Amino acid sequence: MLRRSAFLLAGSLLAPGLARAQSGSPAGSPPGSAAVPSGYPDKPVRIIVPSAPGGGTDIVARVLAERLSQAFNRQFVVENRAGAGQMIGIEAVARAPADGYTLLLAASTLVLNGLMFRNVSYDPVRDFAPVTQIAVLPNVLLVHPAVPVRTVAELIALARARPGELNYSSAGIGTSPHMSMELFKSMAGISMEHVAYRGTAPAMTDLLGGRVSATMANVLTARPAIEAGTARPLGVTGTTRVPSLPDIPTVAEAGLPGYAAPQWYGLLAPAGTPRPIVERLQAEAARALAAPDLRDRLAADGAEPVGNAPDEFAAQIRAEIVKWTQVAQAAGIQPE
């Protein structure tokens, strides 16, 4: 179970708003305000992705790794460590040396695992040094084309008429797609069977194969299936429509008023990583995210680049703990 200290800390230190960097310079200490250890980095840097290749986290990590490799003139290598609701990869970084050579590219799952599992051996507040939030993007509620619905309202009606008969896939227990669907089920008052997979890609594969009725997938992952007509989109989980998919309504406007569950991706280092390294990584990541070509590249897939300061990202993590704790309680979700 997520440590009580993390929840108490979250409740007392929430930020009223999270400013986003609009340029390459971080909001906070300017680049160069503290000396980066001499020679950093003098060897390849690993970016651990705690999910399978091909998912949204993996896609974002590889885009970022490419830009950081150019910025530092040193290789940033993406390493996938999937499994156990992403905990295998997350825990690996929490236990890694705090020297700046092992980083974590995590999704919202970072703060969700403690709500789903009793034995979580990392603390999202205590065990990490947040670097920056990389991007936010909504999930898309998808159904297999054989499911006889075309709107969110129709899916809700079908699920109510056939309680427990429909199922849905997710990237794993406690992942953003899972919790987004649990919030959907709770607010809609419906029952659907959850089928957990080890990553986004296999969850999508079984939706496309008709072995599950529905799924939640981020825009980066869902868009190819939408364009190919192999999955039917019913709504996006953000508060506004996605510019690259303007014909898909939000879940709220399509049949479930008040619903919103966007997810995010962020870069973190092990706790204790020297602050100058954290600030340098943030500055280079923010600079990359401010580049028009990268912003356009991410926006085309529904992602909004961020690049905020380390302290702002830390405050958001605390806020997410509070939010999803309330969602889990409202949905009656108990750690397993």
pLDDT tens for residues 203-262?
Answer: 999 999 999 999 999 887 898 999 999 999 999 998 889 888 999 999 999 999 999 888
The rounded radius of gyration (Å) of the Cα atoms in the chain is 19
The pLDDT-based confidence of 30 (bands split at 50, 70, 90) is very low
- The C-alpha angle 259, 262, 268, rounded to 5 degrees, equals 150
Beta strands in the chain (DSSP E): 45-49, 76-80, 102-107, 128-137, 139-143, 167-170, 193-196, 214-218, 232-236, 263-270, 304-305
**Domains of the chain, start order:** 4-137+263-331 (3.40.190.150), 139-254 (3.40.190.10)
Contact call for residues 131 and 282 (beta carbons, < 8 A):
yes
- How far apart, in whole angstroms, are the C-alpha atoms of residue 86 and residue 180? 16
Judge whether residue 200 has pLDDT over 80. Answer: yes
- How far apart, in whole angstroms, are the C-alpha atoms of residue 186 and residue 332? 9
pLDDT of residue 332: 74
pLDDT of residue 26: 37
Q: How far is CA 210 from CA 149, 199, 205, in A?
A: 14, 18, 9
Backbone angles phi, psi at 47, to 5 degrees: -110, 110
Residue with tokens 């009793």: 118
pLDDT in tens, 97-152: 999 999 999 988 899 888 888 889 899 999 999 999 999 888 999 999 999 999 99
Q: What percent of the chain has pLDDT over 70?
A: 90
Q: What percent of the chain has pLDDT over 90?
A: 60
Indicate the SS3 state at residue 180: helix
Indicate the SS3 state at residue 206: helix
- The C-alpha angle 236, 265, 81, rounded to 5 degrees, equals 115
Average pLDDT, stretch 167-189?
88
Query: 288-303 burial by CB neighbour count: b if 16+ within 10 A, else e?
Result: bbbeeebbeebbebbb
Count of alpha carbons within 13 Å of 328, Cβ hemisphere only? 25
Contact call for residues 272 and 294 (beta carbons, < 8 A):
no
Judge whether residue 175 has pLDDT over 80. Answer: no
